[in-house]
Structure formats: structure tokens, C-alpha cells
Amino acid sequence: MTNHKRHAEVAGAGFAGLTAATALAQMGWDVTVHEKAADLRALGAGIVLWNNSLRVMEELGLLDDLENHSMVPPFYETRIHNETVSREDFDGLPWRSMTRQHLHDVLVRGATAAGVDIRVDSEVVSADPEGSIILADGTTRSAELVIGADGVTSKVRDSIGFEQERTKSRDGITRLIVPRSKELLGPGDWDNVIDFWNFEPRVLRVLYVPCNNDDLYIALMSPAADPEGSAVPINLDVWVENFPHLEPVLIPAAKIHGRYDRYQTNLLTTWTAGRVALIGDSAHAMCPALAQGAGTAMSNAYTAAVAATQSSSEAVALSLEEWEKAERGITDRCQSRSAYFAETRSMSKGNQFTPEMLETALYDPTAKSR
């Protein structure tokens, strides 16, 4: 190598990989990110970020760019059979909704500005705890630090043989972006996040999340065992019959093919092996109830970058073990709370964001490094 910078290899240009890469590059590392897809795009529809990931974006200098095309809904409202059961505003706790594409674009701009080398069409097929990865074209690349941010089907994880327990929930969701159409929806608080739950005549739910002036994220939840509720493209008749007041946004939703995903949880015995750290869904995929999958991914990406930077090259493996010890509890608790909500469908009762349930949202992963 021609420079003397410390070198890191990152598998996956999702929210976890891009956050880790940007943080490392800003801290002086030479970083290469490998993305197996042919282009840099976010999968999925909309997303909610809270204080933990927003503090990371601020620390990376990306908060202004993020705020530009996102919003803070006035309330997080919950309705059962269209009757409001709660309206939560989190007492000034920072939170924000946006499209996933916007968050991804901001992170790609941040990574590029920090000098990260992002390579598309570059699949990582395996990793070695001694500090190397192998690409699909057979190339081996060595590094002081390897980050496995390659999502729920992680090859970094599976090639090393991390032990994991995987659980699928009975419910799942189809997530779509449609035009806001506020004028068509008629009078109402359409800037709120609104979680519409129906239990009669069947279990169906629409999570309504405005992302900016133009884009609305809707997530349509149904049991996996209901072939009509889980059909894609969505079955317009069924959804309009159950949510007639949402017809103006369901009509465009039915024109998009979409994808129905069952919720799933992955619990690993450990997130690290030697110089390899797993971050994000590869390490801790969770149910989305508390909207913290990306939040915990970005938070752990940042703290792992700090831990490796503060360590000597010889002690990287040890520093990653200590990082896991410090960060693991808060992520595990969030994951199990999210699984509980998904299992019991008790988000429908409203007022779910108690101080305990907001523990992860409130966390500031940047505080210790300041």
C-alpha cells in the first residue's frame, strides 16, 4: 500500500455499512465498502429515526443534509377501528421520518465526501477472523478491521460460522411509498404518524408515516396466514373495505408490485470474531415495532468505529470484544421488546412509548467519545 493509513474492509452498503465506513474514514482510516448489488440503492420504503441515530448523523456532519428532505410529525397517533387511543409526542425527544432512499443518499454523499471507496457489483463471499475477506471474483483482501454489514443473510457471518437463533413472527408487512394526497384524504391530522389497527372482521393494520411534503410511507400489516392480506400487489378491495377513509392512498399503493416480508429476529451468541465485527441486521435483525433496526445498526456502527480507532492495531480484536460488551445490552433489550410487541400486537393499545420502551431511542452513542 502507498499510504500508511489503517485499512478497513466493509461488506454491505446498507445503513450499517455506510455509517461504519463514513465514521472510520472521518477518523483517519482508509476504507473500502463492497456492495453486491449493481447500484447503490436503498431497499424498502420509509423509515423513522430517533435520537440515537440522529446523534450519529450529527456527529458525522450529515444532519443538515438529512433534515432537508424529512420531517418531524407532530404526533405518533394510534387508532383502533379508526378511534384514536393515543397521541404521543415524546416530550421533545428528537425523532424524524423520511424515505429510506433519502437516508441512503445522505449516507452515500457522506461516505464519498469522507473518501470511502465504494465498489458495486462486489460480493463478499467469506471472511477470516485473522483479518481478510474473499470476494466473488476470488480476490483476497486483508485489513486490520473487517465489518460484516451485509444484512440478514450475511455471508461474513455464515462463512465464519457464528451461532444464531432465528425466529419468524406470524405477522408481516408490505411497505410502499405513495404520493401524500393530503387534499384527497379530506380534513384530518394527516401530518401525524397514524397507526391504524383493525381486529374485526380480521387482523389488518395500516401504519401511515408522512416522510416529507410529497412522499407517504405506508406499511400494510397482515398475518402471513391470510392469503388476501399478505398478497402483493395489495388486494385493493380487501384493504379499502377495511380502511375506507384511506382509499386515496390505497389506490396508488395497489399499482405498485411491492413485497410482503415476515418479521424476523436473529439472536447471535457473539457479534465479533477476531478482527471481524458484525453490525446491523447481520448481527441483530429485529421486529420493527419500536422502529430501531436501522437506529441500533447506525449506533453500533459508530461505536465500533470509535472502539477500533482508539485501539492499537494489535489490540483490535480485544477492542471489538469490549465494544460488544458495552453496546450489546441496549440492543438486546430493544430486540426483545420489539419481538414482544410484534408477538402480542399490543402496539394497538397505544401509549407504547414509555420511558422503558424509549431506552434505545434516548441513547446517545456519541456521548462517550466526546
**25 and 145 Cβ atoms separated by less than 8 Å:** no
Within residues 325-364, the interface with ligand FAD by CB under 6 A covers none
In angstroms, the CA 18 to CA 23 distance is 8
From 234-242, 293-301, 332-340, 356-364, span contacting ligand FAD (CB under 6 A) = 293-301
Cα–Cα distances (Å) from 311 to 20, 127, 196, 270, 322, in that order, read 16, 21, 48, 20, 11
Q: List, in order, residues 6 or more apart from 120 with CB less than 8 Å away.
A: 13, 35, 37, 38, 39, 40
Q: Which of 21, 48, 60, 339 binds ligand FAD (CB under 6 A)?
A: 48
Of 150 and 195, CB closest to ligand 5PR:
195
Confirm or reject binding of residue 149 to ligand FAD (CB under 6 A).
yes
In the list 173, 211, 316, 358, the residue contacting ligand 5PR (rule: CB under 6 A) is 173
Q: How far apart are the first and last CA of the chain?
A: 32
Options 175, 205, 275, 337; binder of ligand FAD; rule CB under 6 A: 175
Which entry of ligand FAD, ligand 5PR, none binds 155, CB below 5 to 8 A by partner kind?
ligand FAD
Helices (H) and strands (E) in the chain, counts: 12, 18
Among 63, 149, 50, 43, CA closest to 97: 50
CA distance linking residue 149 with residue 156, whole number of Å: 8
**317 scored as a contact of ligand 5PR (CB under 6 A):** no
Kindly indicate which of the ranges 6-14, 191-199, 238-246, 318-326 contains the residues binding ligand FAD, using the contact rule CB under 6 A.
6-14
Q: Which residues are at the interface with ligand FAD (CB under 6 A)?
A: 11-17, 34-37, 47-48, 123-124, 149-151, 155, 173, 175, 261, 280-281, 288, 291-295, 297
Q: Which residues are at the interface with ligand 5PR (CB under 6 A)?
A: 48, 173, 175, 207, 209, 219, 221, 288-289, 291, 347
